[in-house]
Structure 1
Amino acid sequence: MNMPHNAFKAALNNRATQYGIWAGFATGYAAEIVATTGYDWMLIDGEHAPNTVPGVLAQLQAVAPYSTTPVVRAVTGDANLIKQLLDIGAQTLMIPMVETAEQAATLVRAMRYPPHGIRGVGGGLTRATRWDAVPDYLNTAHEQLCLIVQVESRLGVENVEAIAAVEGVDAVFIGPADLSIGLGHAGNPGHPEVQERIQHAVKATLAAGKACGILAPNEEDARRYQGWGCQFIAVAIDISLLRQSATATLARYRTPATEQAPSRTY
């Protein structure tokens, strides 16, 4: 059996723009629905959605037949959790709140087997190896693994050049909401200071030869960030889409109609 191909990583290497969607319902059924809609990638969110490792596994299995590539965001950069997520078959990991090059280098080591890292060997126990059916997995796994580090704090942006330069970091993802609150502009990622810091992070990432991504469900924001050079952009959140559609539908039948504008924070 061949190593599963990581289409997301391949697209990053080809410099193709990829549009993504946040998957926050934490169920395989909902994730499969999202996977049928044609987005290039989907973020299975283990940080702010109520996901467990078995729950992430169920979603990976549910979306496997579809062209949308899953990206798994861990709740933390703990090496033991990274080991579990890789063993259940996650090939692209996003790690939140990375603030230093040293932290990024530690994450790279958690993604790789010795002598280049500290990942433990699960062998025939793991879905990643297709239960020992993938030949030479230990020596070739890194070729299809992709590490995205999130820069979303004042300190992270200050160190973004060094973070992006770390070998083994494939991409940097900017978190506008956390960055805005860290800069003293809670709920206002459009503030000029936040925007300047985002643009700086994008430029620094690109200068290091790495791909840069961002979360931007608002179309105006997404197009601006794409113009700045962001290559993979999450332009939708499944939970938000459900709520917006539900409230808009109800508003058509209530007098007076009251429709709340979507938040631009996330």
Structure 2
Amino acid sequence: MSYPTPLTTKVSNPRLRLLNKLKGGEFPLMTFMAIPSVRMAQIVALTGVDGIIIDCEHGHIGDDAMHNSVAAISSLGVSPVIRIRGPAHDIIKRALDTGAHGIMVPQINNAEEAEQIVASSKFPPQGVRGQGSAFPAIGHGLTTPEYMKTANETIVTMIQIETRAGVENVEAICAVPGVDLVFIGPNDLAQSLLGYVPARGDEPEFVAAIDKVVAAAQKYGKWAGRMVNNGTMAKEARARYDTVAITGDTKAIQNWYISEFDVARS
């Protein structure tokens, strides 16, 4: 059954900054947030970033911080995305009930896993998501009935490709209706393919894997993204990707201090 998704939706909501920029081909910039703080969420949201990925997989983020961060980020006109810790139905439901504008699901290996994620992300008849919270509509600037009518076609479902199996099955994953964006996790992908991190970036197997993921996304009309370490890499990625995430809060803080202390001691 064909139905509108974020890739094809005609819904217009100015609050959905990430979706609007993706649809406009504007190369939105994202970053990861691992520190559980409303103030950190606000500080990062005021940098000019388009989407903040609240990292509930590897970050120090619990349920309270997840809810509070989504509220803080969305109130400042930036799109909150939650990277959940796994594809379980209850985890997806909990994340979406914060009012997140999208979810990112790590280490997806095959189409069956992708289909399960899509089903858990969408209300019937397209999926099996349940409704019972007033909170998600707030993050979209809508009433609950308005949110219910539009959520299926405006919440961006991001699938991470970061394993050998994910690369092998990426065409089948991208063919799944409701998968909106495939996002390359270069460190886990390097560990899976090469046995070490980080990749140099010129290893034939690693380059071939990246090429395969991007080609599959383009073939099936999905958006493609990846993580990069800095603005220079982000600028270079614009030719191939629809969006990137430039490192995260913990690295940004460390890198700034290390650089400035090196200058001070020189």
1:137 Cα deviation from its structure 2 partner:
3.5
Aligned residues with identical type, % of pairs = 31
Matched residue, 1:210 = 222
1:215 Cα deviation from its structure 2 partner:
0.1
1:221 Cα deviation from its structure 2 partner:
3.9
**Change beyond 3 A, Cα 1:198–1:136:** same
Matched residue, 1:253 = 264
Indicate the SS of the match to 1:187. Answer: coil
Q: Is the 8 A contact 1:177 1:188 kept in 2?
A: yes
Indicate the SS of the match to 1:252. Answer: helix
Q: Note the alpha carbon deviations across 1:123-166, whole angstroms, 9 max, x for none.
A: xx330134993334433321221100001111101111111111
Q: Which structure is larger by alpha-carbon Rg, 1 or 2?
A: 1
Matched residue, 2:27 = 17
Q: Is the 8 A contact 1:3 1:134 kept in 2?
A: no
**Change beyond 3 A, Cα 1:184–1:33:** same
Residues in 1 aligned to 2:77 and 2:101: alpha-carbon distance in whole angstroms: 15
**Change beyond 3 A, Cα 1:49–1:244:** same
Counterpart amino acid of residue 196 in structure 2:
A
Counterpart of 1:195 (choices 182, 207, 210) is 207
Indicate the SS of the match to 1:129. Answer: helix
Q: Is the 8 A contact 1:5 1:144 kept in 2?
A: no
- 1:49 equivalent to 2:59? Answer yes
Q: Is the 8 A contact 2:38 2:65 kept in 1?
A: yes
Q: Is the 8 A contact 1:88 1:126 kept in 2?
A: no
Indicate the SS of the match to 1:194. Answer: helix
1:219 Cα deviation from its structure 2 partner:
4.6
Matches within 5 A, 1:38-77: 38-77=48-87
- 1:80 equivalent to 2:80? Answer no
Residues in 1 aligned to 2:254 and 2:137: alpha-carbon distance in whole angstroms: 39
Counterpart amino acid of residue 74 in structure 1:
I
Matches within 5 A, 1:99-114: 99-114=109-124
Indicate the SS of the match to 2:75. Answer: coil
Give the length in aligned residue pairs: 251
Residues in 2 aligned to 1:221 and 1:140: alpha-carbon distance in whole angstroms: 35
Counterpart of 1:28 (choices 33, 38, 63) is 38
**Change beyond 3 A, Cα 1:149–1:242:** same
> Structure 2 length normalisation: TM-score?
0.87
Q: Which runs of no fewer than 5 residues in structure 1 stay unpaired?
A: 258-266
1:224 Cα deviation from its structure 2 partner:
4.0
